[in-house]
Structure 1
Amino acid sequence: MRLTFWAGLWVLLLDQASKYYVVHWLGLGNPGRGKIEVFPPYLEFQMAWNRGVNFGLFSGFDMRWVLIGLAVVISAAVLWWLRKNGGSKWVYMSAGFLIGGAIGNVVDRIFYGAVADFLNMSCCGFNNPYSFNIADVAIFIGAVGLAFLGEDHKSSPKKKSA
């Protein structure tokens, strides 16, 4: 479980530091700032305040506290599952990535009322209209890791703390 804690903590810190830098230092949180070309056309900082779920779905509803509660429940369920089943070091890291990313977005919802999405990537003539953040990437990596590595514990004995 130590590996889960440290992976989650580093994801949370990296996510929050990047958001603070983009929103406050670069000023993308200010209305009218728009975007900053970092490595055009592949990477831009394009601010999007996401009040809903993925791709802004349900953003017209006030779901802030529901989504905070859901993230906390899912994080607790992953920790419970991990404690019960164990797994490889990759499973513990995947859980940490997922939980750290979820808590990073919870922090945004508490302090900003919405998730700060700012990474925008386009390529090869495709103009991506959606932005995301480091927490979103960590959640995706963690979920994929748990999905594909989660059954790994059946072939090896349970490890209490990885």
Structure 2
Amino acid sequence: MKFSRRSLFIIVTIIGTIALDQISKVWVRANVEAGSKSEILGDFFTLYNVENEGAFLGMGSELNETLRVILLLILPVVVLGFVLRYVFKDKNLGKWSLFAFSSIIGGGIANVYDRFAYGSVTDFWHLKLTDTLRTGIFNVADVFVTTGMIILVFVTFFKKKPKEDIKKAD
């Protein structure tokens, strides 16, 4: 089977995202005591080893098992499937959009894999700029998903209008 450069870019980005995330989580599980906290750069950058049974910031961890399976396993897989199909079908997506969507897909797959394999997602990084400006505890997959979303916002915001649309607007 021969892949186009575009398809190869998508596949490599997704697999690379998953690999980086899973390697980091294996390292944390093996080398950082569960529930521990280690300051890397003072209070600014901290390393943890926590298991998140919910989604973003633990949301959904209190749901009953059936709802958690539907909302945190089945629904994300369906959405990721639709996004993956869209990325391969829409030939008009630019490189930044392809990278963004592929990063989101890879990060999503990595976290869904954790939920399926372990029943929770391993989170380990925390940033604290001030007492009120700080993150929740997150992982590499979260970084890729967030970065992908930010790139999509910028690509959409700074998208050049086709010349035809500009003429019609005048």
**Normalising by structure 2, what TM-score?**
0.78
Distance (whole Å) between structure 2 residues aligned to residue 123 and residue 149 of structure 1: 27
Q: Which amino acid aligns with 2:44?
A: Y
- Report the residue type matching 2:38 in the other structure: I
Aligned to 1:141: 147
Once residues 129 and 147 of structure 1 are traced to their aligned partners in structure 2, the CA distance between those partners, rounded to angstroms, is: 20
Q: Does 1:90 align with 2:92?
A: no
Contact 2:36 2:48 in 1 (8 A): yes
- Paired residues in the alignment total 151
Over 3 Å counting, the alpha-carbon distance change for 1:141 and 1:127 in structure 2 is closer
Which ranges in structure 1 are unaligned for 5 or more consecutive residues? 156-162
CA contact (8 A) 2:32 2:49 kept: no
Structure number with higher relative contact order (C-alpha < 8 Å, ≥ 6 residues apart):
1
Who is 1:18 aligned against? Answer: 24
Alignment of 1:1-162 (within 5 A): 1-24=7-30, 26-29=31-34, 33-61=35-63, 62=65, 63-64=68-69, 66-86=71-91, 87-126=93-132, 128=134, 130-149=136-155
Q: CA RMSD in A?
A: 2.3
**Aligned sequence identity (%):** 28
SS at match of 1:28: coil
Letter in 1 for 2:143: V
Question: Once the 2 structures are TM-superposed, how far is the Cα of residue 36 of structure 1 from its aligned partner?
Answer: 1.5
Structure of larger gyration radius: 2
The normalised TM-score by structure 1 is: 0.81
Structure 2 gaps of 5+ residues are 1-6, 163-170
Letter in 2 for 1:93: F
State the alpha-carbon separation in 2 of the partners of residues 9 and 129 from structure 1: 26
